[in-house]
Amino acid sequence: MTLEEITISRAIISDHMETLLDYMEMDVAVVGGGPSGLVCSALIAEKGYKVGLIEKKLSIGGGMWGGGMMFPRIVVQEEARRLLDRFHINYSEFSSGYYTARSIEAVSKLTAAASDAGVEFFNLTTVEDVMVKGDGVLSGLVINWQPVEATGLHVDPLTLACKITVDATGHDAVISHQVAKKCGKPEIKGEGTMWAENAETAVVSHTKEVFPGLYVCGMAANAVLGGHRMGPVFGGMLLSGEAAALQIVNRL
Query: Which residues belong to the annotated binding site for glycine?
Result: 229
Cβ pair 27, 135 in contact under 8 A: no
- CB-based burial label for 3 (10 Å; 0-12, 13-18, 19+): exposed
In the annotated binding site, the residues are 36, 55-56, 63, 127, 154-156, 171, 219, 229
Alpha-carbon separation of residue 4 from 8, 10, 68, 218 (angstroms)? 7, 10, 45, 45
Alpha-carbon separation of residue 150 from 77, 90, 217 (angstroms)? 37, 37, 25
3-class secondary-structure state, position 162: strand
* CA distance linking residue 210 with residue 166, whole number of Å: 10
Which residue(s) pair with 76 in the sheet? 99
In the annotated binding site for Fe cation, the residues are 156, 171
DSSP assignment letter at 100: E
In the annotated binding site for NAD(+), the residues are 36, 55-56, 63, 127, 154-156, 219
Print burial letters for 175-190: b (CB count within 10 Å at least 16), e (below 16). bbbbbbeeeeebebee
Please count the other Cβ atoms lying within 10 Å of the Cβ belonging to residue 31: 27
∠ CA 241-246-248, rounded to 5°? 95
DSSP 188-252: ------B-HHHHHHHHHHT-EEEETTEEE-THHHHHHHT--B--SB-HHHHHHHHHHHHHHHHH-
